[in-house]
Amino acid sequence: MAKYYTYDQHTRIPDIVLISSAALNRMSDGNRTAVEEAAKESTEFQKQVWAEAIAAEKTKAEEMGVEFFETDVAQFQEAVAPMYEELKAEPAKYALFEAIRAEADD
């Protein structure tokens, strides 16, 4: 067993749920709303269940002597900032990056 664990935030939940635009567009407004609400509810449920599972496993690991470390996200973001500036030279890719970032901030 590893004696050290760093929360590097490379793994995130909830899992991504995808649906084709064609399928979504064929739905009635009511069904589409129901699918969107179910997706939001499942996201919150998954976050809760995941947090509980992690807490339980962390307790077990700590009992076995594992040390946990948090990362400095701001320091990482500062280090990679030049990559995002370079990405602005490719507008289509930068637009995609901005769209993903906007979803992450919600």
**Shortest CA distance to 3 belongs to which of 71, 70, 65?**
65
In our burial notation (b when 16+ CB lie closer than 10 A, e otherwise), range 33-67 reads eeeeeeeeeeeeeeeeeeeeeeeeeeeebeeeeee
Task: Look at strands 67-70 and 4-7 and give their pairing.
Answer: parallel
The residue extents of the domains of the chain are: 1-70, 72-106
pLDDT of residue 1 exceeding 90: no
Give pLDDT tens digits for 30-72: 999 999 999 889 888 988 998 899 899 999 999 999 999 988 8
Q: How confident is the model at residue 10 (pLDDT cuts 50, 70, 90)?
A: confident
Give pLDDT tens digits for 19-29: 999 999 999 99
